[in-house]
Amino acid sequence: MKTAVKMRPSFKDSSGRAKSVRTKRKNTSREVGYCGQIIIPSSLDYLPKVDEYVERKLRKLGVDKDKLADIAISVTEAATNAVMHGNKNDLKKKVAINLKVDSSCVEITVEDEGNGFDPEAVQNPTEEKNILKQVGRGIFILKSLMDKVDFIIQPQKGTIVKMTKFLS
Amino acid sequence: MKLSSTEMGDVMILEPKGKIMGGPDATLLHDQLHDFIDRGKKKVVIDLAKVDWMNSTGLGILISGLTTLRNNGGELKLANVTEKIQSLLTITKLITVFECFDSLDEAVASFK
């Protein structure tokens, strides 16, 4: 939450419009881990950029292929929700993806500027009545693939999805 | 994601390559599937051999194609499902919805 408060003003330029894709490297020393972020406008067109950033960093840090795929899928799920349901595709709003890696785990937060939602209200997509629905599997999938998922809802300020994958 | 298509008799085959995660890639696959349907092609196989992974958007596109084809008397089948996608189909229970085959030839032959 501390990171989100610090970061949010940088989402927009002086005219109030969302800035384009931006990555920020905070630390690249493998001995003490990695910490960085990518910020995108609220458009699914930027999903491949997010995936490219996350996969490139995790591959470089030696995260194994299977775990890397689980993390990459989960990040695209959270980012899709942030763009579509959080920011409602409003290009003036941004989505920030923060990546933190140390020897024991990968921790990712995906932050939007929307009005939040109730994660408990999301229907189970594996129930018979939902099985053929085209949407509604994102949260279920990221909860299945990641070891720990927390939703930090801040009405009028945005939602933070915090996901952790243990590496050992 | 890159997408190519071929025909084997009256069976249309789609071969996506890379990752299916939404955005422009997903639109491409969705449009191609619906182009088949608009042209009256009712037998479709998606060969997933070269797909690293897909997320819920990709699964949604497969379901959309499947239900539209079935509503028009057709069928969509999957071939060469990779381990990661198999795992996603299992946890979402979509493995019970799709017919999956170990090879493209087996999937095509299953229509006869």
pLDDT of residue A122: 87
Handedness of CA A38, A43, A46, A48 (dihedral sign): positive
pLDDT at A39 over 90: yes
User: Which CATH number characterizes residue A35's domain?
Assistant: 3.30.565.10
Helical (H) or strand (E) element with A50: helix A47-60
Taking the Cβ of residue A51 and every Cβ of chain B, the question of whether any pair is shorter than 8 Å is answered with yes
pLDDT at A6 over 50: no
Helix, strand, coil shares of chain A, percent, nearest 5, are 35, 30, 35
A157 pLDDT band, cuts 50/70/90, is: confident
Domain that holds residue A104: 2-166
Between chains, do B60 and A135 touch, taking CB under 8 Å as contact?
Answer: yes
Torsion angle (degrees, nearest 10) of CA A167, B93, A139, A108 = 20
pLDDT of residue B60: 93
pLDDT at A111 over 60: yes
Count how many domains chain A has: 1
A20 pLDDT band, cuts 50/70/90, is: low
Give pLDDT tens digits for B58-107: 999 999 999 989 998 999 999 999 999 999 999 999 999 999 999 999 99
pLDDT of residue A100: 96
**Residue-range domains of chain B with CATH:** 2-109 (3.30.750.24)
pLDDT of residue B29: 82
Query: Which residues of chain B lie closer than 8 angstroms to A48, CB-CB?
Result: 21, 23, 25
Handedness of CA A141, A143, A144, A147 (dihedral sign): positive
Mean pLDDT of the region B31-48: 91
Give pLDDT tens digits for A126-146: 999 999 999 999 999 999 999
Taking the Cβ of residue A77 and every Cβ of chain B, the question of whether any pair is shorter than 8 Å is answered with yes
Please give the Cα distance from A41 to B95 (Å, whole number): 35
pLDDT of residue A19: 56
pLDDT of residue B23: 76
* φ and ψ at residue B88, rounded to 5 degrees: -65, -40
In Å, how far are A47, A105, A165, A167, B58 from A58, measured between CA atoms?
Answer: 17, 11, 12, 11, 23
Please give the Cα distance from B28 to B68 (Å, whole number): 17
Two tokens at A13? 């330029």
Mean pLDDT of the region B27-33: 85
Give the nearest partner residue to A126 out of B22, B59, B92, using CB atoms. B92
What ipTM, to 2 d.p.? 0.90
pLDDT at B24 over 90: no
Q: Which of A7-16, A56-65, A88-97, B47-56 has the lowest mean pLDDT?
A: A7-16
| Residue from A58, A75, A132 to probe the interface with B (highest B Cβ count within 10 Å) | A132
**What share of chain A has pLDDT > 70, as a percent?**
83
> If you count residue pairs, one on A and one on B, with CB atoms under 8 Å apart, how many are there?
70
Helix extents (H) in chain B = 24-38, 56-71, 83-91, 104-109
Taking the Cβ of residue A58 and every Cβ of chain B, the question of whether any pair is shorter than 8 Å is answered with no
Taking the Cβ of residue A53 and every Cβ of chain B, the question of whether any pair is shorter than 8 Å is answered with no
A115 pLDDT band, cuts 50/70/90, is: confident
Characterize the bridge pairing of strands A158-166 and B2-8. Answer: unpaired
In Å, how far are A124, A144, B34 from A128, measured between CA atoms?
Answer: 9, 19, 25
Query: Which residues of chain A lie closer than 8 angstroms to B57, CB-CB?
Result: 76, 80
